[in-house]
A and B are shown apart, each in its own frame.
Chain A
Amino acid sequence: MIPVSLTDIQGVLPETIVVIAALAVIMADAIRRGHSGALLPVLSVLGLAAAGAAAIFLWGTSGTVFNGTVFADGFASFFKVLFTVIGILTILFSPHYLKITGVRLGEYYALILTAVFGMMVMASAANLLMLYLGLETMSISLYVLAGSQRGDVKSAEAGMKYLVLGAFSSAFLLYGIALLFASIGSLDYEVIGTFFASDFHPGPLLVSGLALLMVGFAFKVAAVPFHFWSPDVYDGAPTTVTGFMSTGPKAAAFVALIRVFGVALAPASSLWSGVLTVLAILTMTVGNVVAIRQTSVKRMLAYSAIAHAGYLLVGIVAGTKAAFAATGYYLSAYALMNLGAFAVLILLNRRDEGSYRFEDLRGMGFAHPLLGITLSVFLLSLTGVPPTAGFFGKLYIFSAAVEQGHIVLAVVGLLNSAVGAYYYLRVITLLYMAKPEGESIIVQPAAYRFALVISALLILVIGIFPEQLLRVITLAVP
């Protein structure tokens, strides 16, 4: 008998709901053969909302289920809610984008759901195999999503590049897992944690396993020097997908980083924290410096996404509960502001799809007040200007780093924020300081406006009441 109890099933309730929703969407698409109107997005949003509600309902549970392979704790619940929010916002932005780009794919929504499912598994994995399976479920869905704009060769190439480098990095991660398994004999985080807490001998197998694991993670979060895939993939993918995959997967990878490196491998931090420090510094600096030189707004945001991964790595290096809570806070804020920024760009792009030139934004703040204001909020938050959420995210992360004596990291982070301010604020200047060139009519569907306003408001709310959210996350941190 496999001992499966009701607690086990309850622990993965959000995942189950998302899978059922994904299957329902696939069936609906297959039955209606692509003539399903608003049915698929509505189904997907309902499924995600139900999953989010289930995750909130599970708040307060702790421990593991399914024989210690899946966490059913507050940290997992928190991130499951975040993933459903990311999924819902992406789906609200999608129908309009799919219409203007002429993509008619029912699979699109099902793939978003399976990707969200993969992220949830990553967030609640308590076993390295579980983590790998979640990661792959998410990644394979994203490969297809990145290549889903079949009329556009850039999209297919982005999908291919993402697939080759994603599979490449997964292989590194998996090899690291295999070598850890060879030297420890188990893949459970708990066993790995007790192994490293005891007096262990860092043999060649163990050290190379850790190194490979770290390379794999560095690829996944696009840390310099393993970042080279991300700007091209983000640039080539359909813009809604870019927003989705620059936020959700990053959050999922960071939860896994916290659980694996921050908790299980914490006793062995002397082995890896130095490397991670260098990665963090490189990632922040290269991301920001290269972002300045971009001529396309989409590409600029792609590089800035790299820079933000650098700030988040600082939280992992700091390695305290407060730092992990700060990372969770920053990930939530980052998800909202980045998704929102990409969504506004979709509407403001006036020339042929995929150019996203700075000139397109000239004077748009006056011509389209709603878009101007929301984009400004997103960009100010990305810059880190109070009272937006982005400011407090940086504040919490850097102060946690200073508390742990990582002064250099905090100083580099602050300098980089200043560099970031240059290119973010340049966009806002363009929005408001110049006259628009001729008339422009932009169709703004209700769902789209709703999602934009909600994201902007959420950023302001968690920016004005940062302590409350931080306290919630702190309760959940493992």
Chain B
Amino acid sequence: MQIELTHYLLLAAVLFSIGVMGVLTRKNLIVILMSVELMLNAVNLTFVAVARYTADLTGQVIVFFVMCVAAAEVAVGLAILISIWRHRGTMHIDSVKLLKW
């Protein structure tokens, strides 16, 4: 079977959905951050696949920027997580009052 652009886009969509489900259902803050990363990487996959199939490098350049932003976001996330850990001694979402949604 030939692997077409559609397959990549579908894979990205599935990955993105897994990420969304992870953010909405998981209880550990670290896992939630990882799920957000999964969502962003699904987007990256979309960009790279489109760049490959249209022979346009723009998509790949965008991925650089997205990776960079994601790293900064995770760095801040971990820092705030440490701050919460120092107060509460846990990373479980139920122990964090404001974080119920």
Direct A–B touching, Cβ under 8 Å: yes
Chain A residues contacting B84 (CB-CB under 8 Å) are 153, 156-157, 160
Interface bits B64-80 vs A (CB < 8 Å: 1, else 0): 01100100110011011
B20 to chain A, nearest CB (A): 8
On whether the beta carbons of A185 and B54 are closer than 8 Å, the reply is yes
Interface bits B32-68 vs A (CB < 8 Å: 1, else 0): 1100100110110011001000101011001001100
Whether A229 touches B83, Cβ cut-off 8 Å, given contacts A174-B40, A179-B46, is: no
On whether the beta carbons of A164 and B36 are closer than 8 Å, the reply is yes
Query: Which of A133, A150, A157, A158 meets B69, CB within 8 Å?
Result: A133
How many A-B contacts if CB must be within 8 Å? 112
On whether the beta carbons of A171 and B98 are closer than 8 Å, the reply is no
On whether the beta carbons of A157 and B43 are closer than 8 Å, the reply is no
Give me the interface of A with B, judged by CB distance under 8 Å. 129, 132-133, 136, 140, 143-144, 147, 150, 153-154, 156-161, 163-165, 167-168, 171, 174-175, 178-179, 181-182, 185-187, 205, 228-229, 232-233, 235-236
Inter-chain CA distance A147–B46, complex, in Å, is: 33
**Complex A-B: 7 CB contacts under 8 Å:** A143-B73, A163-B73, A163-B77, A164-B36, A165-B101, A178-B46, A186-B58
On whether the beta carbons of A160 and B46 are closer than 8 Å, the reply is no
Chain B residues contacting A165 (CB-CB under 8 Å) are 101
Query: Which of B36, B43, B79, B98 meets A154, CB within 8 Å?
Result: B98
Chain A residues contacting B101 (CB-CB under 8 Å) are 161, 165, 228-229
Whether A159 touches B80, Cβ cut-off 8 Å, given contacts A182-B9, A232-B98, is: yes
Known: A140-B72, A167-B36. 9 other contacts (CB 8 A): A132-B69, A133-B65, A140-B76, A147-B80, A156-B84, A158-B98, A160-B29, A161-B99, A181-B47
B30 to chain A, nearest CB (A): 11
On whether the beta carbons of A140 and B42 are closer than 8 Å, the reply is no
A95 to chain B, nearest CB (A): 23
Inter-chain CA distance A164–B30, complex, in Å, is: 10
In this complex, the interface size class of chain B, counting residues with CB under 8 Å from chain A, is 35 or more
Give me the interface of B with A, judged by CB distance under 8 Å. 9, 12, 16, 19-20, 23, 29, 32-33, 36, 39-40, 42-43, 46-47, 50, 54, 56, 58-59, 62, 65-66, 69, 72-73, 76-77, 79-81, 83-84, 87-88, 96-99, 101
On whether the beta carbons of B46 and A171 are closer than 8 Å, the reply is no
Inter-chain CA distance A140–B50, complex, in Å, is: 28
Inter-chain CA distance A187–B50, complex, in Å, is: 13
Q: Which 10 A-B pairs have the closest CB atoms?
A: A171-B39, A153-B87, A157-B98, A178-B46, A156-B83, A136-B69, A167-B36, A159-B80, A182-B50, A232-B98
Chain A residues contacting B62 (CB-CB under 8 Å) are 129, 181, 187
On whether the beta carbons of B83 and A147 are closer than 8 Å, the reply is yes
| Closest A residue, CB atoms, query B59 | A181
Give the one of A165, A178, A229 with max B CB within 10 A. A178
Give the one of B43, B62, B79, B80 with max A CB within 10 A. B80
Chain A residues contacting B65 (CB-CB under 8 Å) are 129, 132-133
